[in-house]
Homo-oligomer: A and B are copies of this chain.
Amino acid sequence: MIKTSKDRQFRPVAVPDVDLGGFWGKWQDAVCDSTAQTLLDRCVEAGMLKAIDVSQPSPGIVIPIQPWGGSTQMFWDSDLGKSIETIAYSLYRRANPELEARADAIIDMYEKLQDQDGYVNAWFQRVQPDRRWKNLRDHHELYCAGHLMEAAVAYFQATGKRKLLDVMCRFADYMIKVFGHGPGQLAGYCGHEEIELALVKLARVTGEKKYLDLSKFFVDERGTEPHFFTEESIRDGRDASDFHQKTYEYGQAHQPVREQRKVVGHAVRAMYLYSGMADIATEYKDDSLTAALETLWDDLTTKQMYITGGIGPAAANEGFTDYFDLPNDTAYAETCASVGLVFWASRMLGRGPDRRYADVMEQALYNGALPGLSIDGKTFFYDNPLESTGKHHRWKWHHCPCCPPNIARLVTSIGSYMYAAAEDEIAIHLYGESKARLKLASGADLELAQTTNYPWDSAIAFTTTLASPARFAISLRIPEWAKGATLSVNGAILDLSACVVDGYARIERNWSDGDRVALYLPLALRPQFANPKVRQDAGRVALMRGPLVYCVETTDNGEDLNTIILPSNLPSGKTTVLSELNGAVAVDLPVEREDTGAWGKSLYRSEPARREPATARFVPYHLWDNRTPGEMLVWVQSDQ
């Protein structure tokens, strides 16, 4: 009776169709109050408006060309794009005429900048106009277009204004002429993936299949032989071997995507590619892409992912290294990479709910992406180590400002990751105080109110508002960690063992106005141990509570956090609500502590350190460095 996964097409609800309260509401308020404007201010300070304003002379090369042959100035369009996208989502939550006027002005500039043929790119129109489409491998040309497309869709959805959407449709129409296998066309793709998933968004909002087809073209061409990047560089008179990072794996262009089995290279690029692939798999029901993605998913999540959902341990390539190489203190784990993992995971749910993806989406969202933003929305983490000796703190800005707008747009659009709709089914992937407006192709039209203090509390309640009763299914994720979860409809307990498929409790019935679904997800503190092949976590344990990874900080626990030893039988902790951290739940646990004071002078000795009983306070990792700065540690010593 229950449909199997993979034969449906779930698409996220539009951002404006979900109102957030509670946990996410506070984060969205921080973006509305601070981040949205800060992003734009910083872009303006960097000189980005001069770059697109045709009424002013071109600023020329402001950020010098680097050894890899480009400049971060080449991606300024993407910074503006992500900032406009964030503003769009923030405007939906809270009107801000001043900010909207500034965004409108920028969009006007882009409209004026656009060439007759539809091309738009600040760098290649105003700084190096002779270099258009000359180096797709390194110069982020389509990447920039992708971010402007995402901005266009978001701004249209939030404000109803079509100008940027029309600009980007014209650009996409021009791309359709430029790219292909016909005479004079380029059979190429971008070195930094992004355009693929952006074209899908454009297609979904416009209903134009041609944009899907172009996205599929980019996906299909990637890594095929003869290799586009090699041929392109020869045509351009460049040494084909002089590639940044020396390998096509850096941009996942080393093999056709359907043959790729190992997650490699630059982490953000990988996540954006797989996101685009998953969208194409959903839209075309392409099992060959789904099969490759499932293999890649396993590769990432069972061999290359921090417990925080952070990915890409190395700064050198901003990406992946060896299996099970997960250093904690030097972890790169870029905020953008976890944002990208959320993107990918959400799109793996396109062909049917499966907690294999949604559990990791939640893990990466709370613990990999969200640390990138301070609770006041004013400062940002770029890299996210799991251990700090006290020198790692949030930045006001970054020389490569990709992360701040990325986490801001994710936070403000989080509603679209919580709910997804297929023809006659609603999937609820994430929990949080919210109200969603949902319209199913089968006809149902409802509002779903979710009342909860999740992730701090276990109880989650849904109430339906329906003009007329309708038959459809609601699928609710039961996280793998939620042992002992219970579910009831209008007070009648459901047998989860009978209704859970792929980790989702599927309730198919005639729904009426005022129906009540109650879900209880136990939030017991869970010790987590790493595969013993992860040498950096040997002898150590991390704590999770619900979806949240916890850590210890100096402000609560003094210095030398590595002297904390958690007992092998996890004692029951005492929870405390911290009002200064947005009502976060801290956990105080009895532990042992190595006594540094009694150690004596020698650096090494034959006796281990004396241990003293102590109490350690654990706080959610995503909130670290929001109070007095100091050390931080996720993986503490375990007394096994």
State the A residues within 8 Å of B (CB).
298, 301-303, 305, 307, 322, 325, 330, 387, 389, 526-535, 538-542, 560-563, 565, 568, 594-596, 599, 601-609, 637-640
Contact = CB atoms under 8 A, between A and B. Distances in A.
Contacts of A527: 606
B605 A529 contact: yes
A305 B603 contact: yes
A307 B532 contact: no
Contacts of A538: 562-563, 594, 637
A231 to B, nearest CB: 34
Contacts of A322: 389
Nearest to A639: B640
A320 to B, nearest CB: 14
A72 B532 CA distance: 43
A112 B596 CA distance: 61
Given A538-B562, A539-B539, A540-B539, A532 B609 contact: yes
Contact of A325 (B307, B389, B603, B604): B389
Given A539-B539, A539-B540, A608-B640, A599 B532 contact: yes
Number of copies: 2
Given A538-B563, A539-B539, A607 B532 contact: no
Nearest to A481: B606
B603 A531 contact: yes
A532 B563 contact: yes
Contacts of A568: 608
Contact of A606 (B528, B599, B607, B637): B528
Contacts of A606: 526-529
A632 to B, nearest CB: 12
Contacts of A533: 560, 596, 599
Contact of A535 (B330, B389, B565, B595): B389
A595 B532 CA distance: 8
Nearest to A594: B532
Contact of A602 (B389, B531, B561): B531
A381 to B, nearest CB: 21
Contacts of A532: 560, 562-563, 594-596, 599, 609
A530 B603 contact: yes
A194 B571 CA distance: 58
A529 B639 CA distance: 16
